[in-house]
Amino acid sequence: MTDFSSLGIEPKLLEAIEALGFQTPTEVQQQAIPILLEQETDIVALAQTGTGKTAAFGLPMLQRIDTNSRITQGLVIAPTRELCLQICKELIKYATNKKGLHIVPIYGGASINDQAKAVKKGAQVLVATPGRMQDMMRRKMINISAVEYCVLDEADEMLNMGFKEDISNILAHTPKDKLTWLFSATMPKEVARIAKEFMQQPAEITVGTKNAAATNIQHEFYLVAGRERYNALKRLSDTHPDIYSIVFCRTKRDTQRVAEKLIEDGYNAGALHGDLSQNQRDLVMKAFRAKQIQTLVATDVAARGIDVDNITHVIHYQLPDEIETYTHRSGRTGRANSLGTSMIIMTKGELGKIRTLERIINAKISEQTLPDVTDILNKQLQFLAQKIKSTEVNSEIGEYLPEVNEILADFSKEELIQRLMSVEFTRLHTYYQKKSNSMTPLEAKEGGKSAKARDTRYTINIGSRDHYDWQHLKEFLIDFLSFNPGDIYHVDVMDNLSYFNTATDKKELVLAAFEKFAIDGRSINVRVTQKRGQHIQKGNKFGGGSRKGRNRSRGGDSFGQFSKKKRSKGRGGRHK
């Protein structure tokens, strides 16, 4: 069994971490510590949150620091004040037995003079946030010209928060021959880029899957005025006719009200909250499992412990009071190797929470625009058409048809299609024509147009013929482009080709990646398409079988089969 001493950790540090209860090194520690202790190399280390990255860089760094010198030799840069303090506290614990080793935190919101004083006493290690760090550099309170080890901790977060320039500026004041150790939970392109820019042939370690928890779930948020949450929920549901979702509300009252409204509007919805009797709750859950209920509206408490597979969407009608609850909610989807989407309906005032959430879930939450009426109508009609196309003709139906044929005898095929489609079209069209159901100009303009212009839609010449469904294609694209799940969206697979969207600032990257790309001698082309923002029914297979019972004449339930294929593919090969 590997232990810390066999990794080369010195007795003084060993004693300290033993006292902390560290017995076995974690995987990232096992891989990183020997390299960082023995080799004069830069490193890029990827490991999920909570895997012990602090000790992975902290122990080797503390061991290598010369305590006879008072010069600053080690610098750790972290994105936030909390992290900075946390890392600092942890390092100080490791260093308890190393007399004369001083570790000082540098962060905003506290007295700069006190920090300068602490540095002046002789701090060999600084743990700093980028802002305060630069402040003190400008005021010559800090000298990092002799730094030997520089750690960029939570590099993905720092880039997310826009610290690229700051990092670059800080590093410019350090010696060329220092070692740079980059630690990150995920490896978006931006991280790869700074690794390239600031590091020399870094060693690379990846522990586990890159962000295993997050890969299955795509996180999105939609900005609306508070009073329009319900309209937004409806649009999101309407644009996914095959949705199988849990909608979370904050209170029992909202839960009941939203469910009632959905039912009134013709959806297969049900409410689950603490004011229902056990018996009522059992019935609702039974119907939900049987997919007779497509949208379950629930409180956090009532939904605790629900384990239903193949939920396609978790919708946050409101963000939870306790922000950590978000993880529990969104974890209801993306289970058992299927992909899921977590959609937050929120107001501008709540925007600040997104950062915190991204930290907690360790994944990006991308801003999305609510589908407009054209999107919705397109989706619904395509869905109906596909449904008709893939319906198996019932062998018994013949004897019931003569009367039907008589009634419809005079219509041409075109007319029949028009009428058939109008059943759905008119209902939705009428609904969305109503003033009360349109979204306010503010939202439509600010969220809508600008967000849409920031989207680019592509075609790729791979389709269901090549045995791709949207999930597999999305996976392929994420993997191939090293994107995060949230970077690729609106994936629609047709027979011969497919569509997908990215943010427009990723366009060059996408196009460059597919330039001259071939699989088995067949060239794979990706082109920008004009049909921006439009997207059609996800999935290409529609389950057969008849539906039990009569349905109301509403899109979602009148042809609400669930098309998500159970995925059989393993998740291997995702990481390098």
Nearer to ligand ADP, 33 or 381 (CB): 33
Pick between residue 52 and residue 270 the one whose CB is nearest to Mg ion. 52
Nearer to Mg ion, 84 or 269 (CB): 84
How many angstroms from the chain centroid is the CA of residue 248? 18
Q: Which among Mg ion, ligand ADP, none contacts residue 320 (Cβ within 5 to 8 A by kind)?
A: none
Binding ligand ADP (rule: CB under 6 A), the pick from 3, 35, 49, 466 is 49
Residues that bind Mg ion (CB under 5 A): 53
Among 16, 43, 45, 55, binds ligand ADP (CB under 6 A): 55
Residue 396: burial class (beta carbons within 10 Å; 0-12, 13-18, 19+): exposed
* Binding residues with ligand ADP: total (CB under 6 A): 14
What's the rounded Cα separation, in Å, for the pair 512 and 421? 41
**Minimal distance, residue 3 CB to ligand ADP, in Å:** 10
In the complex, least distance from residue 78 CB atom to Mg ion, rounded to whole angstroms: 8
Q: How far is the CB of 359 from ligand ADP (least distance, A)?
A: 11
Residue 210 binding ligand ADP, by CB under 6 A: no
The closest residue (CB) to Mg ion is 53
Closer to ligand ADP at the Cβ: 119 or 191?
Answer: 191
Note whether 22 binds ligand ADP by CB under 6 A: yes
Q: Please give the Cα distance from 100 to 67 (Å, whole number).
A: 6
CB 533 within 8 A of CB 455: yes
Q: Does 209 bind ligand ADP (CB under 6 A)?
A: no
Closer residue to ligand ADP (CB): 78 or 243: 78
* Residue nearer to Mg ion on the CB measure, 92 or 285: 92
Q: Pick the binder of ligand ADP from 1, 11, 40, 50 (CB under 6 A).
A: 50
**CB under 6 A: which stretch of 53-61, 247-255, 301-309, 310-318 binds ligand ADP?**
53-61
Give 22 or 458: the residue with its C-beta nearer to ligand ADP: 22
d(Cα 388, Cα 298) in Å, to the nearest integer? 33
25 binds ligand ADP (CB under 6 A): yes
Q: Which does 50 bind (CB under 5 to 8 A by kind): ligand ADP, Mg ion, none?
A: ligand ADP
Compute the least distance from the CB of residue 202 to ligand ADP, in Å.
Answer: 18
DSSP string, 216-246: TEEEEEEE--GGGHHHHHHHHHHT-TT--EE
- Shortest reach from residue 209's CB to ligand ADP, in Å: 15
Q: Of these, 31, 54, 129, 255, which contacts ligand ADP (CB under 6 A)?
A: 54
DSSP 8-state symbol, 371: P
b/e for 171-193, b at 16 or more Cβ within 10 A? beebeeebbbbbbbbbbbeebee
Give the shortest CB-184-to-Mg ion separation in angstroms: 10
Cβ-based burial of 10 (10 A; exposed 0-12, middle 13-18, buried ≥19):
middle
Minimum Å distance from CB 130 to ligand ADP? 18
Q: How far is CA 46 from CA 98, 209, 442, in A?
A: 29, 9, 41
Near ligand ADP by CB under 6 A, which window of 49-57, 273-281, 376-384, 535-543? 49-57
CB of 154 to Mg ion, least distance (A): 6
The answer to the question of residue 79 lying near ligand ADP (CB under 6 A) is no
**HEC-encoded secondary structure of 28-95:** HHHHHHHHHHHCCCCEEEECCCCCCHHHHHHHHHHHHCCCCCCCCCEEEECCCHHHHHHHHHHHHHHC
Do 346 and 236 form a contact (C-beta atoms < 8 A)?
no
3-state secondary structure (DSSP) of residue 443: helix
Select 90 or 367, whichever has its Cβ closest to Mg ion: 90
Closest to 209 in 3D by CA, of 189, 185, 190: 185
Phi-psi region of 355 (alpha: psi -120 to 50; beta: other; left: phi over 0): alpha
Cα angle, residue 153 at apex, residues 74 and 140 outer, rounded to 5°: 45
Q: Which part of the chain contacts ligand ADP (CB under 6 A), choosing from 50-58, 142-150, 340-348, 415-423?
A: 50-58
The secondary structure element, H or E, covering residue 390 is helix 373-390
Identified binder of ligand ADP from the candidate list 7, 46, 52, 558, rule CB under 6 A:
52
Which helix (DSSP H) or strand (DSSP E) does residue 480 occupy? helix 470-481
Residue 83 beta carbon to ligand ADP: minimum distance, rounded to whole angstroms: 9
Q: How far apart are CA 484 and CA 563, in angstroms?
A: 24
* Minimum gap (Å) between residue 103 Cβ and Mg ion: 15
In the complex with ligand ADP, the residue whose CB is nearer, 187 or 302, is 187
80 scored as a contact of ligand ADP (CB under 6 A):
no
Q: Are 514 and 475 in contact (CB under 8 A)?
A: no
Q: How far is the CB of 9 from ligand ADP (least distance, A)?
A: 11
Q: Hey, how many other C-beta atoms are within 10 angstroms of the C-beta on 490?
A: 21
Using CB under 6 A as the binding rule, the residues of this chain from 26 to 45 that contact ligand ADP are 26, 29
- Min dist. Cβ of residue 53 to Mg ion (A): 5
The residues near 324 (Cβ < 8 Å, ≥ 6 apart) are 360
What is the DSSP code (8-state) at residue 348? G
Q: Based on the shown chain and the rule CB under 6 A, indicate whether residue 362 belongs to the binding site for ligand ADP.
A: no
Which structure tokens are listed for 373?
Answer: 């009426």
Contacts of 154 (CB under 8 A, 6+ apart): 78, 79, 83, 183, 184, 185
- Give yes or no for residue 555 binding ligand ADP (CB under 6 A): no
Q: What is the DSSP letter of 315?
A: E
Q: Choose among ligand ADP, Mg ion, none what residue 570 binds, the Cβ cut-off being 5 to 8 Å by kind.
A: none
Dump strand ranges (E) for 146-188.
Answer: 149-152, 179-184
**Of 54 and 501, which has the nearer Cβ to ligand ADP?**
54
Closest approach of Mg ion to the CB of residue 106, in Å: 17
* Both structure tokens of 421: 């489609």
Applying the rule CB under 6 A, the residues between 309 and 328 that interact with ligand ADP are none
Residues that bind ligand ADP (CB under 6 A): 21-22, 24-26, 29, 47, 49-55
